[in-house]
Structure 1
Amino acid sequence: MFVRCALRTRSQCLLTGLLALLLSSGLWMSGNAAVLEEPPSLLQAAGADSTLRLVVKASPSAHYQTEATFTDKAVLRALEDRKPGAAYSEPLLPDTVLTYRQKGQEQRVYVTPTGQVVDPIGHQYHVLEDEAQSTLKTHVQSLRQQHYGELLHWNDANRIIPKFSSFTIVDVESGLSFEGQRRAGSSHADVQPLTKEDSATLKSIYGGNWSWNRRAVLVKYEGRTLAASMHGMPHGGDGIPGNDFNGHFCIHFLGSVTHRSRSMDPAHQVMVHRAAGLLNEYVSKLPPLALIDVWISAAHQGDLQLLQVATGEEQALHVRSMRRLSKAKEPDVSGLLQYDTDVDVSTTPEGASAVKHRRIHFHLERASLEDRWYIRSAVMR
């Protein structure tokens, strides 16, 4: 099994190397005999018809991905013989895509961490033989473990990444990476880019502007990869001269809190779980007001995937900014299937510059007392 994190596929590398070998030798090997004849297509030579390719990434739009290829005729036969099963009801498709060729045509399905195959067109599971599903489960879990970060509580991350340690930060959406150094921070990590080149990379991750927006990142240090969340706004004290970064930015981990409020930042915690590959699992367990915080973060950052996981539907919301103003304690909804509430926000509509105070009426529902909540409507007043 060959694995790597890159934008270039392994098949490109394999075919390039194979072509170079053929051109240098002038021969095409057939069995044990060398014959001077035109070779078959490079795709056939690379065994494309018997190769399965897995690609995992945090969102459909992410450029950062990890891929693996393997050959397993039993899995291929099981895929060809698969039968339609139950409906797939999750708001997001699985993060792992499996492609293979069947009768000369490329097939594309999604695979869950448990090895279940999902048809993206019919939005339903396809049933495989137990052994084939077990094989896919092994490959997918191994690949996801390499792609995502370790979900580590701040108390442990604080010890593992000491002050003045330097590490690599990878943005899981763009795939861009840079070096940073932890300078301070007792409730989360206060970090600075090491060099002006690192600062330029951080700025490019945010489209060329400094920003408070939260982004899922991987922190790579001494052989470990931790799930984290960062913003990209210089603030506070400066400690590395000549790095073109006037201050520090913050990196949060599971359970870390802000300096001022001494409470967990909902948007950071969502991004930490995205970096761990657990976005859907995390959001599915949130109570109503915490789910509304996810929706507000999604609206503020224009994050379509977050909107979808909060509402269960593909939708877009166009605002320049949105912040929650009203705070309230989570209500007791243990016996409810529907819940309505009003939330005060500050918002800047798309195409405007003035900040307005508005009230949004949220209506949430769930199918049963054991099921997760969804935001079914959000009406701005």
Structure 2
Amino acid sequence: MVSIIVIICILLLLGVTFIHGYKDEDISVISNSIVNTNVTLAEEEKKINYESQGDSTDSIEFLCWDEINNDVFPRETEAEVEDIYTGKKFKIIRTMGDNHADCETITEDDTKVMKEIFGGFNWSKRPIVLHIGGKNYAASMSGMPHAGVDSAPAFAVVGGLSGGYGYGQNLDTIKNNNMDGVFDVHFINSRRHMEGGISDTVDMEHQKNIDIIRSYVR
């Protein structure tokens, strides 16, 4: 009788050890996955949410600026921005830009969503998917409207241009959207403007954001 009790105790002890070991191993795998990819649990969930909407990297086109500029996103074209990290969306119009797309929000509501995404207007850059004509394109945008005054006529020479641009031509063409000026949207191999001693080089931070889309959306 004593032998049977001893055997039962040993089996129970082995079972607890096995279960405990399995849980530790499982936690270790999850932890290593997060550390190795630098992706938080919330971001992992966003991947799943994005995929469940029927979108994937297979449905997102990674095109160079030369392909985008005149054929896909010419001036006066409307598009919808989707922020990769939050899933929030707002509508924009490309109004100008040669080396990249200079854009404006369409309405005050669009501007409100943009500010929610960026935490207000600032020069930070975020990976986005641009929805145009039923297709999806990888891009990156900055959150600072610049070179404009909403209350002044478009293309008039005025002072107090947004983004610290001072005195010059007003690039704000969409009025009453609660935003002064234009913001930048970049694609693969698009470049900065030549201004303030900065050459028209490829902005590597924007390019990195486009690469993030490849790994972020499954």
> What runs of 5+ residues in structure 1 fail to find an aligned partner?
1-57, 70-141, 280-381
Matched with 2:50 is: 66
Which residue among 134, 150, 161 is the counterpart of 2:61?
Answer: 150
Matched with 2:102 is: 190
1:13-71 deviations in Å (ceiling 9; x for gaps): xxxxxxxxxxxxxxxxxxxxxxxxxxxxxxxxxxxxxxxxxxxxx943334632449xx
What TM-score results when the alignment is normalised by the length of structure 2? 0.62
Matched residues in 1 for 2:93 and 2:140: separation? 15
Matched with 1:212 is: 123
Matched with 1:270 is: 208
Query: Which has a greater percent of strand?
Result: 1
Matched residues in 2 for 1:265 and 1:251: separation? 11
Moved over 3 A (4+): 58-64, 276-279
Q: CA 1:143/1:220 → structure 2, altered by over 3 Å: closer, same or farther?
A: closer
Q: CA 1:199/1:155 → structure 2, altered by over 3 Å: closer, same or farther?
A: same
1:252-309 deviations in Å (ceiling 9; x for gaps): 0000000022100110000012223379xxxxxxxxxxxxxxxxxxxxxxxxxxxxxx
> What runs of 5+ residues in structure 2 fail to find an aligned partner?
1-37, 148-170
Q: CA 1:59/1:170 → structure 2, altered by over 3 Å: closer, same or farther?
A: farther
Matched residues in 1 for 2:208 and 2:81: separation? 18
What TM-score results when the alignment is normalised by the length of structure 1? 0.37
1:102-139 deviations in Å (ceiling 9; x for gaps): xxxxxxxxxxxxxxxxxxxxxxxxxxxxxxxxxxxxxx
| 1:189 alignment partner AA | A
Percent of aligned pairs sharing the same letter: 29
Q: What is the correspondence of 1:119-268 to structure 2 with a 5 Å cutoff?
A: 144-145=56-57, 149-158=60-69, 159-207=71-119, 209-236=120-147, 237-260=171-194, 261-268=199-206
**CA RMSD, aligned part only?**
2.4
SS in 2 for 1:227: strand
Deviation at 1:179, TM superposition (A): 0.1
Deviation at 1:168, TM superposition (A): 0.4
Is 1:151–1:273's contact at 8 Å kept on the other side of the alignment?
A: no
| 1:253 alignment partner AA | F
Deviation at 1:234, TM superposition (A): 0.9
SS in 2 for 1:255: coil
Between the two proteins, the alignment pairs up a number of residues equal to: 148
Matched residues in 2 for 1:178 and 1:266: separation? 25
Structure with the bigger RCO (C-alpha within 8 Å, sep 6+) is 2
| 1:264 alignment partner AA | V
Deviation at 1:211, TM superposition (A): 1.1
Matched residues in 2 for 1:59 and 1:229: separation? 19
